[in-house]
Amino acid sequence: MQATNRKAAVQLAGARAAGSEATRIKMLDAALDIMIEEGIRAVRHRAVAKRAGVSLGSTTYHFASIEEIIISAFEYWRSKALITDSPFYRKTRALLAPYVDGVVPAAERPRIAAQIYQISLGYLRSQLSGKRDDRLLELAFHHESVRYPTLHQLVVREGREQLAYLEVVHRAMGSVAPAEDARLTFSLFRQLEQSAVIEGAGRLDVGRVRRVLHRHMVLCFDIDLPAGGDGDG
């Protein structure tokens, strides 16, 4: 009898924990929706509770402060879009995997550079045309990170992880300054992403993206690349 009661108690505790986590996720989704539609300053306990369809008390129970909501929302958002889930990461990693020493032989670099260019173009087209909400959130979190030290640390750490991988790519392509080239690529990607959000163009200027990216790759890899193609996203 006691064993049965213990089992029932464990099952009940598990169900409550699952329900609590589901409620928390619902509130984080609500916070992200508010950020996209109204801006990050519109995130308040009452607004999140109303959007999520939960009580104000439940919101304050899960998140003691607005800062906690924002930081938790950032961590939740990024957990859904880890760098290792990025098509750019997966495809370039697979492309470079055969080179066990981490360096592409000079004779093969033109071919690999052309493929990296196509992968990059496809990735940027996907980010700029189909993931505008993510770019809005990224801008909002980066701007708000100057106010919250913990959020600032998370944003900086994420940037370092992205830079570290880009440095691997440039080192593999024989760069004499892979860290600096990684920063140039990182800055270019971010500028293209942010300008697309700010300009709010109804139609993505693929030609401009292609020309700028092609110029960058030619300079960084010191290889004459073909400029055609729609990108492999």
Distance CA 158, CA 165 (A): 11
pLDDT at 226: 80
Query: What does the pLDDT look like over 15-28, one tens digit per residue?
Result: 444 557 899 999 99
Whose tokens are 């909400």? That residue is 133
pLDDT at 165: 94
Domains recognised in the chain with CATH numbers? 2-69 (1.10.357.10), 81-221 (1.10.357.10)
Query: What does the pLDDT look like over 101-159, one tens digit per residue?
Result: 889 999 999 999 999 999 999 888 887 777 788 888 999 999 999 999 999 999 999 99
Token couple for 221? 């890899």
Structure confidence at residue 12 as a pLDDT band (50, 70, 90)? very low
Give exposure, 103-125, as e/b (b: 16+ Cβ within 10 Å).
Answer: ebeeeebeebbbebbbbbbbbbb
pLDDT at 169: 96
